[in-house]
A and B are shown apart, each in its own frame.
Chain A
Amino acid sequence: MRENELAVFTDAVKHYFLQTTKEPAQIHAAYLAESENLLHSQYTGLITLSGTFRGCVHFSAPHIMLLQLLLIMGEPDRSESQLLDVVGEIANTIAGNVRRHFGSALEISVPVTIKGATDSIRAAVRTRPFVISLHWRNQDAMVVVDIEPVQ
C-alpha cells in the first residue's frame, strides 16, 4: 500500500470522529505492524475486502470510547449489543468511505463484530498490516488495514 493510500484511511478515520462527534480524533501513528503483535481492544468490527482487492479492515476500541460515542449520538440503549453494533458500523463506514479512492471494485462485506481480543481476529490479518492508532477523549483505538490488489 502506498503512502497516499494509507492517508485515505487516516482521513476516513478523522472524518468519522469529526462528523459524528464534532470533536477531532488525534492520529498518533500510522505504521507497518507485525500481525502477531497486534493488540486488539475490547470490541472489534471486521470488514472483509473482496472484488479486485483482498484483505480486511478492523476498527478496535475500548468499552468507554464506544459508550461515549453512543451518548453523543443520543442513543438511550447502551447495552452490549449496541456497543457491538456501533463498532461494526464504524468499521463499515471507514471501509465504505475509502471507495472514494479505490472505486466500486473494492467490495466490502457486512461487518462481523467481536468482543475480546481473540486469536481469530489476528488470524484474519496477514503478516504485515498497517495500523493507524488514534486517540479520542483520553482513549486509544486502532484501525488495522490489510489490503492488496488481486493479481
Chain B
Amino acid sequence: MGQKLLIVDDSSVSRSRIARAALHAGLEGLTICGMAANGAEALQISAREQPQLVTMDLTMPEMDGVTCIDAMIQQLPSVRILVISALSDKITAITALKKGATGFLYKPFTDEQLAHALAEISAQT
C-alpha cells in the first residue's frame, strides 16, 4: 500500500520543490496528502490525513518544527518525520531526533539527497 506524505515548510518555494523531488524519487505509491506553512497548520492536516511520512522544517512562524514534532508524535506515534532544515548545529539535530524525528537533512539539499533520505525513512517500519 502507498504511503502519504505531508510537507511542512514556511517557504512555498521549498514546499513545491520538496513535492516535485518526492514525486520523482521513485517511491511506489507515494502521494502528497497536504502541505503546511507552520506547525499548527501541520497538526490540523495530520489529524485529518494521518500521513505515514512527514518532511518538517524547523524555523517557522506560529509553531516551530520541534514543538510540532512533539505534538505530532503524540497524535500519530508511528509517523516517520524527516527534518529538512538549514539549522546545521549538532544540538538542533539531536533535539529533533530526541523528540521523535526519524532523520535529518540539511538545507541546501540536492534532489538526489532528498530522494535518498525519503527512501530511507519510508523503508523504516
Contact = CB atoms under 8 A, between A and B. Distances in A.
Given A85-B12, A88-B11, A96 B107 contact: yes
A94 B106 CA distance: 11
Contacts of A16: 108
The A interface, classified by DSSP as helix, strand, loop or mixed, is: helix
Interface in A97-128: 97, 99-100, 102-104, 108-110
Interface stretch (A29-37, A75-83, A132-140, A143-151): A75-83
A81 B11 CA distance: 10
Interface in B15-44: 16-17, 20
Interface string A49-84: 000000000000000000000100111010001100
B120 to A, nearest CB: 19
A67 B107 CA distance: 20
B14 A19 contact: no
A132 B48 CA distance: 46
The B interface, classified by DSSP as helix, strand, loop or mixed, is: loop
A73, A75, A77, A89: most-surrounded residue (chain B CB, <10 A): A89
B20 A103 contact: no
Interface of B: 10-14, 16-17, 20, 59-61, 85-89, 91-92, 106-110
28 contacts: A15-B108, A16-B108, A19-B109, A19-B110, A20-B110, A73-B13, A74-B20, A75-B16, A75-B17, A77-B16, A81-B12, A82-B13, A85-B11, A85-B12, A85-B13, A86-B11, A92-B11, A92-B86, A93-B86, A96-B59, A96-B86, A99-B88, A99-B92, A102-B89, A103-B91, A109-B59, A110-B60, A110-B61
